[in-house]
Amino acid sequence: MKTLFLDGFTVAAAPRILARVTTKLNTDILADERDHQRLISLLAEAEIIVGHIWRTDYPPAPRLRVLQSVAAGLDLIDRAAIPKAVTVCSVYGHEPAIAEYVITTMLVLTRRLFELVSEFRCGSWAARQTSGGKPRGEVMGRTLGIVGYGRIGREVASRAAGLKCRVVAANRSPVASAGPADRNYPLAELDPMLPECEMLLIACVLGPETHGLIDARRLALMKPGAILINIARAPIVDEAALYSALWEGHLGGAAIDVWSREPTADEPRRRPSEHPFHELPNVLMTPHCSGFTDGAVERSWGSVAGNLDRLVRGEALENVVAKT
Catalytic annotation, residues: 233, 262, 288
The closest of 178, 165, 169, 159 to 96, measured between CA atoms, is 159
- By the 10 Å C-beta count (0-12 exposed, 13-18 middle, 19+ buried), 20 is classed as middle
- Contact between residue 196 and residue 167 where contact means Cβ atoms under 8 Å apart: no
Q: What is the DSSP string of 73-139?
A: --TTB-GGGSPTT-EEE-----HHHHHHHHHHHHHHHHHTHHHHHHHHHTT--TTSGGGTPPPPP--
End-to-end CA distance of the chain: 20
Angle between helices 113-121 and 95-111 (to 10 degrees): 60
Q: How far is residue 258 from each of residues 1, 278, 282, measured CA to CA in Å?
A: 36, 14, 17
Phi and psi at residue 154, in whole multiples of 5°?
Answer: -70, -35
